Amino acid sequence: MRSVLVTGAASGIGEGLASGLARAGLHVAVTDLERHDTGSVVARIRAEGGSAEAVALDVTSDDSVAAALGALSRSPDVIINNAGLQHVAPLEEFPIAKWEYLVQVMLVGSARLTRAVLPGMRQRGFGRIINIGSTAGLKGYPYVAAYVAAKHAVIGFTRALALEHAKSGITVNALCPGYTDTDLVRQSIETVRAKTGSSAEAVLGQLTAANPQGRLVRPQEVAAAALWLASDEAAGVTGQAIAIDGGESVA
């Protein structure tokens, strides 16, 4: 049984990834800032007959990364760098400390965890690094400049690392969902609603209008793509930014 570590897995896309991969037979290390936050996810996975463990992990800390990897029952064959957060504001009102923290979590944090697991993957001759990007890494959106910048950088990081490890049995790819039905998107809708005076329904309509299919992406769709990238059959796929967006990025 292969093992996957998912960051930011207490909710949203991370929870969907953890649950979907466990159902497919992988052992899942469900990680988030606080171990107790992941307990309910692990309990649901185990209730369904899956294999999972909960581990606290702060991707902005070298010590936390080392402690989390040391606490695992097995070394991860696959890591999914999913941890992320959002802040909505025009640039002039965007606190620089908040900007720096977003970049630390989504870009530097991904590099920090990846660097820590690479030696073991190289030794085993197999590894899958899956970075959760976004359509925000493929295009621009207003009022989320730090998020857009970080996600563009994640895709650049993905491409560079894929070339570094092309002959090692390790692949590195990014999944780029469009607006996904998660708490993070719901919170962003509420923030935009409060700032603009629009109704939540109107803001949601604007988001779904960007998707040619006219809907939010489901977390299960992201999990299905991650499962394929984690497989032996996807060995020839590396350095890719795969959009899951109903055609938004090509419309």
Find the catalytic residue in 101, 141, 143, 147: 147
Q: In 10 A of CB 118, how many CB atoms? A: 19
Tell me, what's the pLDDT at 34? 87
Tell me, what's the pLDDT at 193? 85
Are 28 and 51 in a shared domain?
yes
Are 160 and 184 in a shared domain?
no
Are 91 and 161 in a shared domain?
yes
Cα–Cα distance measured from residue 28 to residue 112, given in angstroms and rounded to the nearest whole number: 20
- Per the domain annotation, does 153 fall within a domain? yes
Are 172 and 194 in a shared domain?
no
Average pLDDT, stretch 116-130? 98
Are 167 and 46 in a shared domain?
yes
**Containing domain of residue 7, as a range?**
3-178+218-242
Are 116 and 162 in a shared domain?
yes
Q: Among this protein's residues, is 147 annotated catalytic?
A: yes
Cα–Cα distance measured from residue 83 to residue 71, given in angstroms and rounded to the nearest whole number: 19
Read off the pLDDT of residues 11-62 as tens digits, 9 standing for 90 and up.
999 999 999 999 999 999 999 998 888 999 999 999 999 999 999 999 999 9
Is the pLDDT confidence value at 137 over 90?
A: yes
Read off the pLDDT of residues 50-104 as tens digits, 9 standing for 90 and up.
999 999 999 999 999 999 999 999 999 999 999 999 888 999 999 999 999 999 9
- Per the domain annotation, does 158 fall within a domain? yes
- Per the domain annotation, does 251 fall within a domain? no
**Structure tokens given for 230:** 């984690």
Residue bearing the bigger pLDDT, 65 or 190: 65
Tell me, what's the pLDDT at 56? 96
Average pLDDT, stretch 103-120? 98
Stated pTM of the model? 0.94
In the chain, the percentage of residues whose pLDDT exceeds 70 is 100
Name which of 84-88, 188-192, 197-201 the model is least confident about.
188-192
Q: In 10 A of CB 88, how many CB atoms? A: 21
Name which of 26-35, 161-170, 198-207 the model is least confident about.
198-207
Tell me, what's the pLDDT at 182? 87
Structural domains counted in the chain: 2
Read off the pLDDT of residues 174-188 as tens digits, 9 standing for 90 and up.
999 998 998 878 887
Tell me, what's the pLDDT at 194? 86
Average pLDDT across the chain, whole number: 95
Are 201 and 81 in a shared domain?
no
- Per the domain annotation, does 247 fall within a domain? no
Are 111 and 229 in a shared domain?
yes
Q: Is 243 helix (H, G, I), strand (E, B) or coil?
A: strand
- Per the domain annotation, does 249 fall within a domain? no
CATH number at residue 163: 3.40.50.720
Is the pLDDT confidence value at 229 over 90?
A: yes
- Per the domain annotation, does 237 fall within a domain? yes
Which residues 6+ apart lie within 8 Å of 25 measured at CB?
1
Are 160 and 53 in a shared domain?
yes
- Per the domain annotation, does 250 fall within a domain? no
Q: How confident is the model at residue 126 (pLDDT cuts 50, 70, 90)?
A: very high
Are 80 and 159 in a shared domain?
yes
Average pLDDT, stretch 202-228? 93
Q: What is the dihedral of CA 146, 152, 157, 158, to 10 degrees?
A: 130
